[in-house]
Structure 1
C-alpha cells in the first residue's frame, strides 16, 4: 500500500500540489481486509458436527493452531521441553564447590610459600592452616584475619569474597556480575545507596505514599543498575521479586549442611561490603509486595556440572515462568482465557516466535467474536445465529456430497402465495402482503397516474409479484440424546443430520415448519443453538413417548400443513411419563413403557402424522419394537449404514415433498 506522505511547496516551474508517495508506516494497514476466519470457523464446525460443544471445539482449535501457526499444545510442549533442558543444565551447589576449590588453592599456595621459611612463625601458620574447620564457611571466616605470606594465596582468597558478592548481587540484580569486576569501595557505597533508596521506595509504596515522580527520580539516579529499563515500580518489583523468590527456592533446595554453609558465606561476604542489612530488608520488602510468587518449595536439578549461585537463580526463575506458562497454556481452570497469558512471560520463556503464535490464536478468537460468529454469555462462548447458519450449511453440504438432488417436484397450488416460483403475473398490493414488489409495473402505474410530471408514488401504485404457493409440511424431528448415543459414537452424525435438515427446510422451503425435539429421560424442544451446545447429562432413559407428545403439539400449531414425524434413535423406549408427570425408567423396558409409547403412536396416527424411524443400532428388541410401530402407523423403518444417516433423512424429506415415499 502506498499513501501520500506530504505536499511540496508550489514554486515557479513546478506543478502546484505535487505530492510524494511512499509505503505506509503508520502502524497496521488501515485498508487491510478483515481477518479471514472462515477456515477457523469451518474447523470449529467440523468438531461441533462430530459431537463437541462450541467451547470444546474452539479450545481444540486453539490447542492445535491454525494457518501454519503453533497452537497451545505445541507451545506447552515447548515449555515442557525447555524445563526439562533446564533441569539437566547443572547442579545447584556449584558456588559451594567453587569456594572450596579456591579455598584449597589458597591454602596450598600459602603452604608452598611457608615451607622454605625456617622460623617458628611459619610453623605456627602451617599448623593453623592444617587445623582449619571442615565447614567451608567457618574456614573462610577464620582466614579473614589471617596474615598471608603469599601474594598469590591472598589474591585467591580475595577471589572468594569477590565471587560471593558478585554472585549474590547478580542473582538479585541481573547483570550486576559484569559491573562488579574490579569494584572499588566507592562502587559498593553507591550500590548500598541504591538499595537503600529502593527499600525506602518499597516502604512508601506499602504505605500508599509512592508516586510516579518518586520512581522517575530513582531511575534517573540508579537506572544504570537496571538494563531491562522498567517503566514503573510494578515492573521493577516484578523483575526483582521473581529472582528473589528463585534465590530463596534455591537455598531451600540445598541440603541442610549446604544451606547453612551457603548462608554463612553470603552473610560474611555481604557484611564485609556493608550490604547485608539492606539485602535482608530488600528480600522482606519484595516478598511482602509479591506474596503470590513461589517463595517456598524445593527445585530438582539433575545436571552434572555445578552452577553458580546467580546462574542457578536465573534457571529457577525461568523454571517458575515455565511452570506458570504451562498451567496457563493448559487453560484447565475456571474462567480460563487467552488474555490470562502474559506476552512478556511467553517471550521470556519461549522467545518471540511463540509470542507471534499466541497473537495469532488471540486474533482468531477475537475475530470470531468481532465478526459475529461467537458470542460470550453467562455460560461462556456460544455460536451466533450467523455461525449457526454457516454450520447448518456445512452440515447440508456434507449430506448432499452423498446424495444427488433429483429435482424439487411438488404439489403446487397456483395463487399469489408467500413462496414458490414466479408465475409472471402480478396483482395490486394489499396491506400485509409479503410478496416482492413488481418494481416496473409499480413505476408504470405512477407514471400513468401522474402523467409523468410529478413522480411521487402512492400506495395505490404498488403491485406485487404473483408466485406459486406450495402446500406446506410440518416436520417434527425427534433426536435421541440418551447417553448410549455418545457411547456408540452416533451422536455427532445425529447432530449433523438434524442441523442439515433444519438448514434445508429453513432456507429452501420456508413455508414448511420444522421443530427439533431431543429426548432422553425427558423430551424437550431444541433450538439449533441448544442442539449444538448440548452437553451430556449422562442420565438413563429413552423417553420416545414424551417426544411424540411434543411432536403432536408442534403439528397442532400447523393444522393446515402435511404432518411428518422423523425419529432418530439407537435404542428401544425405556422410559415414559407416569401419572404424576415424572419419568418412569426401567431396563429392560416394562410393558407399561411400551404400551404408553404405542398409545402415543396411535394418537399421532389419528392426527394423520406419518412416523418414519431411522435406527442406529440392530438390537433385536429395538428392531422388533420399531417394526410394530411402523405397522401401527404406516410409516417406514430404516436402518442406514454408518455415515449415511443424513443422506437417508434428507432424501426421505425431499421424497415426501415430491409425494414419492422412499422404500424402507
Structure 2
C-alpha cells in the first residue's frame, strides 16, 4: 500500500485509541495533512492487524479524536447555486504539536545527552551550569534536572500525607544557564525527484524537520530555526506548515535556497550560524537576472554546478558552515556533493533515508559545541 510496516505501532500496554493515534500521526505526514486519505489507509491497516474491537470501532476513534481536540469539522464554502461542497475533517494545532512530539521521541528519544561546552551566556533554560532558580518541569527536560526534594515537597502540599502521590504538576527542575546560542536554517529539497522511482524521500525529511524543531523548542529555546524549501524557487515556511508539505513538479534550484538561507542568517545577531540541507543532491535550475529560468535535468550542468560552488564559498567567507545530508546513492551526485562540501570547508553525510535523524541530531549537538564564541 505505502511501503511502510506499522507493526511497531501496535505494541502492548496501549489502549486501542493510543495504537490508532500513533499510526494516524504517521499517516498524516505521508498524506501531507489529508485526513480522509489517512483514515482510509488506517482502515486498511486495521483490517490487516485487527486493532479495533467490537467495543471500540473506527467510528469511536474518529469521535474521540474530535472530542479530544485533534480533529475539527471543516465546512466548504457554498457554491454559486446555494449548495455546498460538503464537509470534511482537518487536523488541529493540537495534532500538529502531537506530531512534533512523536517525531522527537522516535528520532531523538534514544540518543544520550551530549557533553557540556565551556562558555556560559546570560540566557537561562536547559543548559549546563546550575543556578538556584526553580521552574516547572517541561517535556524535553532531562530527568537529572529534576529537583527531587522540592518536587516531593510539592506533592505533600498538593495531595497531603494520607493520599500521597506524585504527578507531573508537582515536578520542578533546577534552572540552568545556556552555553551558546545557535541560529540554524534547515533547507528541504521539494523537487520532483524527491519522490521518483517509488522512493518517498520527502516524508522522512519532514519528520526530521519536525523533530529538530521540537528539540530546539524544548532543549535549546534560545536557539533559532528557520525552515525553507527549494524547488524552482525558494521560500520560507512556518513550522505549522511542515505536516502539509508536498513535493511539487519542480526542478532543484539549490542556489536560490542558499541565497535565502544567507539572507535569513544575516539578520541574526548571534555569531553562531549554520545551514542544514536535506537533498537528493542534483541542482538542475537557476533563476536568471532577466526573470527566466535556466533548467537542465540531464546530468550535472557545469553552469549550474559552478553557481552552487560559488554560493558554498560565499557561505564559507561568512563563516556559515553548510552540512549536507545526501539522501540519494548515485555516485556522480555524491561526487558533486563532495565538491560542494570542499568549497564550503564543511561536511556531508551520505545517509540514504535510514539514520537521517541520528546524523542531524549529532551534527547539531557537535556544531553547538564547536561554534561557541
**TM-score, normalization by structure 1:** 0.41
State whether residues 573 and 593 of structure 1, in contact with CA within 8 Å, keep that contact through their aligned partners in structure 2: yes
The partner residue of 1:479 within 175, 179, 188 is: 188
CA distance in 1, matches of 2:202, 2:281: 13
State whether residues 614 and 640 of structure 1, in contact with CA within 8 Å, keep that contact through their aligned partners in structure 2: yes
Q: Does 1:549 align with 2:259?
A: yes
CA distance in 2, matches of 1:561, 1:385: 33
Q: How big is each residue's C-alpha offset from its partner over 1:611-655, in whole Å with a ceiling of 9 and x where there is no partner? A: 011111122331122111111111101111441111111111112
Cα 1:476/1:61, change in 2 over 3 Å? same
Q: Does 1:419 align with 2:125?
A: yes
Q: Does 1:499 align with 2:210?
A: yes
CA distance in 2, matches of 1:596, 1:627: 15
Shift of 1:389: 2.1
Question: What is the SS of the residue equivalent to 1:41?
Answer: helix
Cα 1:60/1:561, change in 2 over 3 Å? farther
Determine the structure 2 residue equivalent to 1:515.
226
Question: What is the SS of the residue equivalent to 2:289?
Answer: coil
The partner residue of 2:97 within 386, 389, 400 is: 389
Cα 1:369/1:570, change in 2 over 3 Å? same
Q: Does 1:60 align with 2:26?
A: no
Report the RMSD for the aligned CA atoms in angstroms. 3.0
The partner residue of 2:354 within 643, 651, 664 is: 643
Cα 1:414/1:642, change in 2 over 3 Å? closer
State whether residues 478 and 547 of structure 1, in contact with CA within 8 Å, keep that contact through their aligned partners in structure 2: yes
The partner residue of 2:275 within 546, 565, 574 is: 565
State whether residues 50 and 493 of structure 1, in contact with CA within 8 Å, keep that contact through their aligned partners in structure 2: no
Question: What is the SS of the residue equivalent to 1:413?
Answer: coil
Q: How big is each residue's C-alpha offset from its partner over 1:537-561, in whole Å with a ceiling of 9 and x where there is no partner? A: 3x13011111112211221231214
Q: How big is each residue's C-alpha offset from its partner over 1:278-318, in whole Å with a ceiling of 9 and x where there is no partner? A: xxxxxxxxxxxxxxxxxxxxxxxxxxxxxxxxxxxxxxxxx
Determine the structure 2 residue equivalent to 1:159.
none
Q: How big is each residue's C-alpha offset from its partner over 1:30-78, in whole Å with a ceiling of 9 and x where there is no partner? A: xxxxx984333211112234565442223322454497437xxxxxxxx
CA distance in 1, matches of 2:254, 2:62: 39
Shift of 1:529: 3.4
Cα 1:557/1:62, change in 2 over 3 Å? farther
Query: Highest relative contact order (Cα 8 Å, sep 6+), 1 or 2?
Result: 2
State whether residues 372 and 386 of structure 1, in contact with CA within 8 Å, keep that contact through their aligned partners in structure 2: yes
CA distance in 2, matches of 1:414, 1:498: 27
| Structure 2 counterparts to residues 17-32 of structure 1, below 5 A | none
CA distance in 1, matches of 2:255, 2:75: 33
Which runs of 5 or more structure 2 residues have no equivalent in the other structure?
Answer: 1-14, 77-87, 134-173
State whether residues 190 and 246 of structure 2, in contact with CA within 8 Å, keep that contact through their aligned partners in structure 1: no
Larger Rg: 1
Determine the structure 2 residue equivalent to 1:407.
114
Q: Does 1:370 align with 2:67?
A: yes
Determine the structure 1 residue equivalent to 2:171.
none
Q: Does 1:578 align with 2:285?
A: no
Determine the structure 2 residue equivalent to 1:468.
177
More strand by share: 2
Cα 1:467/1:581, change in 2 over 3 Å? farther
Question: What is the SS of the residue equivalent to 1:410?
Answer: coil
**TM-score, normalization by structure 2:** 0.71
CA distance in 2, matches of 1:619, 1:368: 43
Question: What is the SS of the residue equivalent to 1:614?
Answer: strand
CA distance in 2, matches of 1:370, 1:635: 49
The partner residue of 1:47 within 9, 27, 49 is: 27
| Structure 2 counterparts to residues 243-642 of structure 1, below 5 A | 360-377=57-74, 381-400=89-108, 404-415=111-122, 417-421=123-127, 423-424=130-131, 467-487=176-196, 488-537=199-248, 539-588=249-298, 589-642=300-353
Shift of 1:657: 1.7
Q: How big is each residue's C-alpha offset from its partner over 1:499-534, in whole Å with a ceiling of 9 and x where there is no partner? A: 111111111111110112122222222233322112
More helix by share: 1
State whether residues 505 and 513 of structure 1, in contact with CA within 8 Å, keep that contact through their aligned partners in structure 2: yes
Question: What is the SS of the residue equivalent to 2:106?
Answer: helix
Cα 1:420/1:53, change in 2 over 3 Å? closer
CA distance in 2, matches of 1:466, 1:363: 43
Q: How big is each residue's C-alpha offset from its partner over 1:257-297, in whole Å with a ceiling of 9 and x where there is no partner? A: xxxxxxxxxxxxxxxxxxxxxxxxxxxxxxxxxxxxxxxxx
Q: How many residues align?
A: 300
State whether residues 617 and 639 of structure 1, in contact with CA within 8 Å, keep that contact through their aligned partners in structure 2: yes
CA distance in 1, matches of 2:130, 2:364: 25
State whether residues 54 and 532 of structure 1, in contact with CA within 8 Å, keep that contact through their aligned partners in structure 2: no
Q: How big is each residue's C-alpha offset from its partner over 1:100-158, in whole Å with a ceiling of 9 and x where there is no partner? A: xxxxxxxxxxxxxxxxxxxxxxxxxxxxxxxxxxxxxxxxxxxxxxxxxxxxxxxxxxx
Which runs of 5 or more structure 1 residues have no equivalent in the other structure?
Answer: 1-34, 71-352, 427-464
Shift of 1:361: 3.0
State whether residues 382 and 533 of structure 1, in contact with CA within 8 Å, keep that contact through their aligned partners in structure 2: no
Shift of 1:365: 2.2
CA distance in 2, matches of 1:378, 1:558: 41
Q: How big is each residue's C-alpha offset from its partner over 1:156-199, in whole Å with a ceiling of 9 and x where there is no partner? A: xxxxxxxxxxxxxxxxxxxxxxxxxxxxxxxxxxxxxxxxxxxx
Question: What is the SS of the residue equivalent to 1:412?
Answer: coil
